[in-house]
Amino acid sequence: MKDYKFIAGAVCPSCGDTDSIILKNDDSIIKCISCNYFEKKDKKGTESIKIIND
């Protein structure tokens, strides 16, 4: 997983886990380590991933 970094506060749209979303270092792919959710980011960004900033 060295090509990936965790997104702090990100909520998985599939299983609802927080801090389980990892982002590839080139920002092309998002994955959830809890449920194997997988999403390819397009140039608009990923709207399905919600970030909790509190």
**How many Cβ atoms from other residues are within 10 Å of residue 53's Cβ?**
5
- Select the residue interacting with Zn ion from 4, 7, 14, 18 (CB under 5 A): 14
Residue 38 or 43 with smaller CB distance to Zn ion: 38
Phi, psi of 51 (to 5 degrees): -110, 125
Residue 31 sits in the site that holds Zn ion (CB under 5 A): no
Residue 38 sits in the site that holds Zn ion (CB under 5 A): no
| Distances from the Cα of 54 to the Cα of 16, 38, 51, angstroms | 16, 25, 9
Give the residues lining the site for Zn ion (CB under 5 A). 12, 14-15, 32, 34-35, 37
